[in-house]
Structure 1
Amino acid sequence: MTTAPFDASAPRPTTTPTAASTTGLTKSYGSGDTRVVALDRVSIGFREGEFTAIMGPSGCGKSTLMHCAAGLDTADSGSVRIGTTELGALDDRQLTALRRDRIGFIFQAFNLLPTLTALENITLPLAIAGRRPDPAWLERVVTMAGLSGRLGHRPGQLSGGQQQRVAVARALVSRPAIVFGDEPTGNLDSHTGAEILGFLRDSVRELGQTVVMVTHDPVAAGYADRVVFLSDGRLVDEMARPTPERVLDRMKALGPGTPVG
């Protein structure tokens, strides 16, 4: 395994605009003998209209990278950009507004409000921002999510897969520059998880969305356009047009890793 940081933002023959990027990102926890490096000079670009999966051994820094790239956590050094906006130059109010307006989030827990209908949960971020949804876009997202007949239902009346579809639709409804998913199918059975992953893939192909997903599952990674691999806080490889078999082979080569977050 190489000891030099792998640069997943290196130029390619065809230039595609970047929805988000990190440069020289470093993050550690603790100090002295207990200091653990979660991210070690990580530079990566997430291209517009692409589905990227982040993988690596348990605790290799996958979620830490996503949280820093999404502005949910701050790094010790390095920079993070959403489009051309440098997150380190924003104050708390500006960062909150950027996360609300330009970033979508999907987590293992559906994080739906139980007293609101599916439609109200989907449009909640826009309501908080004082904005009305674009009717045509909302209908397109709802139809793609297969929720047209469920909009009046509350979360308790929906299956787990339907609740996660609501969560994904909520992430898409504001037309964010990028959607980050942290193990978005982790609480779902394999059949339902496949439906959600297919929905995310379709949002990239049909809506031009940019999606970045942290996952430990080679099958889930097989839905992505590319997979980037972390080990011990460093980017060590990437794979285009992944298949579950190729991803699993690469993961076996990386080994168990060291828990760092």
Structure 2
Amino acid sequence: MTTTTTQPGAYVANSGVAAARATDLSKVYGQGETQVIALDQVSVDFHQGQFTAIMGPSGSGKSTLMHCMAGLDSISSGSARIGDVELTALKDKKLTQLRRDKIGFIFQAFNLLPTLTAMENITLPMDIAGRKPNTEWLDRVVETVGLSGRLKHRPSQLSGGQQQRVAVARALASQPEIIFGDEPTGNLDSRSGAEVLGFLRNSVRELGQTVVMVTHDPVAASYADRVIFLADGRIVDDIQAPTADSVLERMKGFDAKGRTS
């Protein structure tokens, strides 16, 4: 897959179907002297069936981009779409419904309910929505993340890596159009982190899932099909088929203040 640059900070793949799309997306916090431009006219496509990592120095806008694309934060100007749905056109109730029905979330904190079993945590979003899970799909998800023997265990009976696997399965179970992960392995040791990243990789390869993950770890990013780099609120690079070494080499191009060289 090749990419074309349409303007500074805009790397848009020229093939494939977009599961999510930002067009000239800007996010500004504050006013006057306290104004901070977190995102500066960012345009990017996240393609169906692809695993994308978002990287950049602290304050580069990577988490802000993910939060805006996931409908967790408002945007100041431009466009953010999930499929063909424009997020800025949705009122709160419709936005909540879209997040519930079309988006999966995985964060550093596992966010599991301690009184529920692993399976009950996995199906909780669908239970709240009054939807019955697709049993065949649920079985595939559980098998993919390796939880078949732990479904009756509560979070306190699971390791950190196993708890995050439950969180991954929960995100996958409702068959969302896209999954967003914000440092999903940030609280895990290297072995558990590698397991979770492997499960995300398999969910893309075997289940056709779309995953967008914010990370600061070159090894984590190497599991992705593609890495986009932000600096100063703009996309400054787009690497296909990344390796840990190629990501690390690109990161060396950022100075101590997070600017790209």
Same fold? TM cut 0.5: yes
Counterpart in 2 of 1:102? 102
- Quick one: distance in 1 between partners of 2:88 and 2:53? 25
Deviation at 1:258?
5.0
Indicate whether 1:19 and 2:14 are aligned: no
What is the alpha-carbon distance in structure 1 between the residues aligned to residue 54 and residue 8 of structure 2?
A: 16
Conserved 8 A contact 1:232-1:257 = no
Structure 1: which amino acid aligns with 2:251? M
The percent of aligned pairs where both chains have the same amino acid is 69
Matched, 1:255 2:255: yes
- Structure 1 unmatched runs, 5+: none
Question: What CA distance in whole angstroms lies between the structure 2 residues aligned with 1:257 and 1:56?
Answer: 11
| Residues 205-237 of structure 1, C-alpha deviations (whole Å, 9 max, x = no match) | 000000000000000000000000000000011
1:58–1:256: 8 Å Cα contact kept in structure 2?
no
Conservation of the 8 A alpha-carbon contact between 1:231 and 1:257:
no
Aligned-residue offset at 1:59 = 1.6
For residue 67 of structure 1, what is the amino acid of its counterpart?
H
Instruction: State the partner residue of 1:152.
Output: 152
Which ranges in structure 2 are unaligned for 5 or more consecutive residues? none
Deviation of 1:254 (Å) = 2.1
Instruction: Report what 2:36 is aligned to.
Output: 36
Equivalent position of 2:10 in the other structure: 7
Name the SS of the counterpart of 1:235 in structure 2: strand
Q: TM-score normalised to the size of structure 2?
A: 0.95
How far did 1:28 drift? 1.5
CA distance in 2, matches of 1:24, 1:87: 14
Q: Pairwise CA RMSD of aligned residues?
A: 1.3
Conserved? CA contact 2:75–2:88, under 8 Å: no
Report what 2:111 is aligned to. Answer: 111
Query: Could you tell me the TM-score, scaled by structure 1's length?
Result: 0.95
Decide whether the 8 Å contact of 1:51 with 1:201 is kept in 2. yes
Q: Distance in 2 between matches of 1:107 and 1:88?
A: 24
Query: Could you tell me how far apart the structure 2 residues matched to 1:68 and 1:175 are?
Result: 21
| Alignment partners' CA distance in 1, 2:244 and 2:65 | 22
Q: Measure how far apart 1:181 and its partner are.
A: 0.1
Question: How far, CA to CA, are the matches of 2:258 and 2:34 in structure 1?
Answer: 13
The structure showing larger relative contact order (alpha-carbon pairs under 8 Å, at least 6 residues apart) is 1
Question: How far did 1:36 drift?
Answer: 1.2
Could you tell me how far apart the structure 2 residues matched to 1:157 and 1:78 are?
46
- Residue deviations 1:225-257 (CA, integer Å, cap 9, x gap): 000000000001100000001101101102234
Partner residue in 2 for 1:176: 176
CA contact (8 A) 1:183 1:213 kept: yes
Q: What amino acid sits opposite 1:221 in the alignment?
A: A
**Deviation >3 Å, runs of 4+:** 256-259
Deviation (angstroms), 1:195: 0.5
Is the CA contact 1:219–1:244 (under 8 Å) kept in the aligned structure 2?
yes
Q: How does 1:213-224 map to 2 (within 5 A)?
A: 213-224=213-224
Q: CA contact under 8 A between 2:108 and 2:187: conserved in structure 1?
A: yes
Q: What is the SS of the residue equivalent to 1:9?
A: strand
Q: Report the Cα distance in structure 2 between the residues aligned to 1:98 and 1:8, rounded to whole angstroms.
A: 26
